[in-house]
Amino acid sequence: GIQVEQSPPDLILQEGANSTLRCNFSDSVNNLQWFHQNPWGQLINLFYIPSGTKQNGRLSATTVATERYSLLYISSSQTTDSGVYFCAVEALHTGTASKLTFGTGTRLQVTL
């Protein structure tokens, strides 16, 4: 099956710093989503981005489908950005179902 790798696994930032999270995937994809998992376990949708670039406030994402990677940018980080960031993909040849394969996540801690 498709493999999803995220880097770095852990990241500690001071409030106000910028960061880039990376997601590499091993096959063509129909769908790529970025999620933020808060300390209570809720997965919050950040971006649906199988290709191209999107921005939402301090967050932006870019997926280069031909090179099989996606980047999540966080600018001017805040303590509320802390948590685990997951990249999840749906492989192109996944049959009739749209199952997501998740990476292992990047654990971000933003300190004062």
> Smaller CB distance to another protein: residue 18 or 30?
30
Residue 23 C-beta: closest distance to another protein, Å: 11
The span from the CA of 14 to the CA of 26, in Å, is 32
Residue 14 C-beta: closest distance to another protein, Å: 25
Q: Give me the residues that bind another protein (CB under 8 A), please.
A: 30-31, 33, 35, 40-43, 45, 48, 86, 88, 90, 94-105
Residue 80 C-beta: closest distance to another protein, Å: 18
Nearest to 11 by CA among 54, 70, 72, 55: 72
The span from the CA of 98 to the CA of 100, in Å, is 6
